[in-house]
Chains A and B, each alone.
Chain A
Amino acid sequence: MGESYGRWTLFETSGATGVNMGFPGLDEILMFLSRMKPLTAWEATIVNSSAFQEFRILGDVECIRELSSDRLYLRLYVERELDGKRILGESSLVLNPLDDFRFRIRRSIDMAALVKNEPFKLPGPGQDYAEVETHDPAMAANPFHNIAGVRNRLEAKSRQELVVLSSSEVWIEEKRRTFRNSLGIEAGYSETELFVDFVCLAKSDLGHESESHGSRKFRRLQDVNPESMVARNARFARDTLFAEEPPTGEFDVVFSHESLDSLFNYFAAQSGGPAAYHGWSRFKIDEPVVSEVVGDRITLTSDPSLHGGLKTVPFDDNGLSMKPVKVIEDGFLRRRPVEQRYAQYLNLEPSGALTNVVVKPGATPFDSLFHPKPVLHCVRFSTFDPNPVSGAFSGEIRLGYWVTDSGVKPVKGGSVSGVMENAFRRATFSSETVQREAYFGPKGVKLCNLAVAGS
């Protein structure tokens, strides 16, 4: 896919030329943009992408794929005055090679000219881009070789664990993003991503079968550990064979593993710029995000430079330099992570929208979360998406463990439900931490008295 820009982040060469942005006819397109009236500003992002994919079913190849694409994403702005008030028209379009860019840009400007949004100023040159890890040359160097390496390790570990590897998908994608705007920013970075998706099948002596589906994306080859992924999913598949429904009632619930991935989404959404600007955020600066807390209080940071984080980026779609933000500190909303637009609308410091979520761990060892018993330990839900507006949540238990004084029994089926505001009044965060795709924080979170619908 052409030259790599180097290990991590690249360059900012405001006003300079010579940056190969890799899109056919780019100079002509930018020249055309500079002449277009009534365009007042523009942003251009080129994404050069290549991907390599292997799909296997029961150890046999189903499909091998190789693809490449070049796209130019344009965002166009038309600021003007209407009835004595400044308003901003805006529109966006994506160009593929050979598209009739003149027609498409004119049409997009026509669209923008009809929009009446509140104006904001684009970020200008002089952004201080951090050197962050977005690209792993080792991953990109020999994609099919790396894919085969990961797949071989998945298969070997599955044999060792005595489970059947039903299917596997291993993809490696490399992208080069280059950004330019009408104010003179020019910057770029490369990124890599390895996607592993597989299913382990376990069988009981009675012939019953169950499965566990593992799926995860990685930025760096060094973070990929197929053996540990298979071992965990093999155990989940075996435990699912004997899982029964949990009892019905109100119980303390420990969230760990995948169930952590979306646990803090409500807090992220409510803290964001769109929620505040559009009037649906219940959070206020320097006020508690959860009232009457008697357990651990949340401290949540947006970290755009988390090593190996999938949301690690040097700048956002506006070319704004991304900054870490302590969003919630000791249970109080301190600062909203906002992109340039909402920063100006809300009169806040721009930092970029929320990136990787980092949650401060608590003081309780993970094992102590399971006292007093009984506790329902949920490791995987079918889906778990708390409503960003109301905070209401429900999730079907795909796999959990019912922990009582008489032992630990795997459970599946039934549901856990509640409302975030109530659930986090009595929360306990483990002292041990774990890193997932875009999360670094407690390995386990206990929420008390949640409604469990089971047998």
Chain B
Amino acid sequence: MNIDQKLFQILSDCVFDLERDVPYASALAMQREGERIVWRNKRQIVEEINPVKGVVLTAFTGKHFIETATNDLTSAALKKVTRDLRDMAGYEGIRYDGPEVDPGPKMKTTHRVECKDPPERIPLNDKLETLGATQSKLRAMDSRIADAVIQYGHTRDREVFVNRNKLLYQHLRRTQAVAQVIIREGARSAALHTGHSFQGGWEHARIDDQELESLVSDGLLQLVADRLIPGTYDAIFSPEFAGIFAHEAFGHGTEADMFLKKRSMGQAYMGKEVASPLVNMSDDPSLPGQAGSYLFDHEGEISSCTRIIVGGILTQALTDMNSAMRLNLPRTANGRRESFERKAYARMSNTFFEAGRHTLDQMLSDIEFGYMLDRPSNGMEDPKGWGIQLEGYLAREIRHGKLTGRVFSPVIVTGTVPELLKSISMVGNEVTISGLGMCGKGHKEWVKVTDGGPYLRLRARLG
């Protein structure tokens, strides 16, 4: 049984049943399926992506939310979880004079991501041969490659959202391609990966030769890289590095459930300057083709762009239903769940710095001594203290306005969010979104996100 519009009726019945008792109810059915192929030197994996299928029923008692969830989609099971939720509501107590949940305007809509090459129409053997050939090519690029890994994954998310006004269905398809090399020479070893993820199908499964060559050459550079001397330097962030910076800086810092918990300093800075006037930053789940895009979030809000920072001023937060309702903030389509088994939180989608007007050459031209940071690995932010950590594999040395070819690895950027954002002196003129990211909240609740930006020039403390 697949999750599709056929569930509209039975879920509407559940919602109708629930709203006989509670002021607001909704239902979300989620199904994720797909395939994954991993090809490495000595092992292959071909399997289904761990499928998720189930329904979560939500009720607002007038005081708080209560939920029941199951992966049994039979009519009897759905009736049972509806009954369980009504019982829970009775036990918790219902208030009709509490805050009101806005069910939104009446609408019935469906959305499907189109694939140029639907993976299910391509014989599995053809996919394996293509990926195997890429893996052979990659491992042959240098004798020091101990293991070469090619990964392909395609997911199909079918989601149905129902409340008293909305009947929404979306079918999202996403394809991810990753290449990784593990390189050894004597006592030194290094690992590096590259890749992309976009909405669509098999057309996104390939990684071009130039990208593979760049992966290997950067991996080899890591073998001879030293650690840089800690200090504050002129720096240029690559678009990938700018992306992780956007995500950590005022992505997490403007998730409004953190406002509600008094865990974000951003709340006190709404409408105030937090960055250089050159900085504009957005979160946009409606971006066409990006892996973090969707038509509606997991609380039924239709996606649109949220401009978080405009001209250096912090302007808008990312909300889920609870935080928007309690803080009287505009609702944005950022209420997302890891699965039907998890609660919704305010989460990012595609988060990025918007384009400026500088070229990379202009950014490099007057740097006497500094670093270009590339190939980020991870990041972390502390919304309450505004501390930030960005880690990457490569710091490319810049001297007298030119890249010298010397690299340092790994590299870590630490500092405070506004300090870094205010130090931005140039913003590149072309945005690149990187789709490989997953985002956790408190080391759990993983959802698909992307991030990106143009090249950024700034001052940063590196270690």
| Residue positions of A touching B, CB distance < 8 A | 51, 53, 55, 57-58, 60-71, 90-94, 96-99, 104, 107-108, 110-112, 114-118, 164, 166-167, 197, 199, 201, 209-211, 213, 215, 240, 248, 277-280, 282, 382-383, 385, 387-390, 392, 394-396, 398, 412-415, 417, 421, 451-454
Contact = CB atoms under 8 A, between A and B. Distances in A.
Contacts of A112: 46
29 contacts: A63-B65, A64-B67, A64-B92, A65-B68, A67-B67, A67-B68, A69-B69, A69-B341, A70-B72, A94-B50, A97-B73, A97-B74, A98-B73, A108-B48, A114-B124, A115-B46, A118-B43, A166-B263, A209-B262, A210-B385, A278-B40, A280-B182, A280-B191, A385-B378, A392-B410, A394-B412, A417-B410, A421-B187, A453-B230
Interface string B254-287: 0000001111000000000000000000000000
B387 interface: yes
Contacts of A385: 378
A215 B442 contact: yes
B365 interface: no
B263 A96 contact: no
Most buried by A among B1, B43, B84, B190: B43
Given A278-B182, A280-B189, A282-B187, A396 B414 contact: yes
B70 A68 contact: yes
A413 B68 CA distance: 41
A69 B230 CA distance: 50
Nearest to A63: B65
Nearest to B443: A215
Nearest to B56: A67
Contacts of B125: 114
A215 B124 CA distance: 43
Contacts of A201: 262-263, 384
B1 A98 contact: yes
Nearest to B341: A67
Given A58-B262, A280-B146, A389-B189, A91 B46 contact: yes
A64 B56 CA distance: 12
A415 B48 CA distance: 40
Most buried by B among A57, A92, A248: A57
A99 B2 CA distance: 9
Contacts of A167: 261, 263
A98 B69 CA distance: 16
B108 to A, nearest CB: 26
Given A53-B343, A167-B261, A383-B389, 7 more contacts: A97-B72, A98-B73, A116-B44, A211-B385, A277-B43, A282-B187, A395-B412
B146 A279 contact: yes
A413 B227 CA distance: 19
Given A108-B48, A390-B190, A61 B63 contact: yes
A66 B387 contact: no
Given A91-B47, A111-B47, A394-B412, A97 B190 contact: no
A115 B44 CA distance: 6
B387 A398 contact: yes
Contacts of A383: 378, 380, 389, 391
Contacts of A277: 42-43
A68 B56 CA distance: 11
A389 B64 contact: no
B42 A118 contact: yes
Nearest to B384: A211
A62 B230 CA distance: 44
B41 interface: yes
Interface residues on B, range: 35 or more
A389 B188 CA distance: 9
B391 A394 contact: yes
A427 B71 CA distance: 49
B461 interface: yes
Given A211-B384, A396-B412, A415 B69 contact: no
Interface in B197-226: 222
Contacts of B387: 382, 396, 398, 412-413
Nearest to B43: A117
A414 B384 contact: no
B11 interface: no
A228 B253 CA distance: 29
Contact of A63 (B48, B182, B343, B378): B343
Interface string B393-430: 00000000000000001111011100000000000000
Nearest to A67: B69
Given A63-B67, A65-B68, A69-B71, A453 B462 contact: yes
Contacts of B261: 57-58, 166-167, 199
A413 B44 CA distance: 42
A20 B412 CA distance: 52
A71 B72 CA distance: 10
B17 interface: no
B410 A279 contact: no
B436 interface: no
Given A199-B261, A382-B387, A64 B88 contact: yes
Given A67-B69, A415-B414, A278 B230 contact: no
Contacts of B385: 210-211, 240, 412
Contacts of B415: 413
Contacts of A94: 48, 50-51
Interface in B47-102: 47-48, 50-51, 53-54, 56, 63-74, 84, 88, 92
B95 to A, nearest CB: 12
A387 B414 contact: no
Contacts of A248: 230-231
Contact of B262 (A51, A70, A166, A280): A166
Most buried by A among B41, B51, B262, B442: B262
B45 A115 contact: yes
Contacts of A199: 261, 263
A453 B380 contact: no
A97 B261 CA distance: 38
B382 interface: yes
A382 B410 contact: no
Contacts of A454: 230
Given A96-B71, A389-B189, A417-B227, A61 B64 contact: yes
Nearest to A73: B50
Contacts of A388: 191
B322 interface: yes
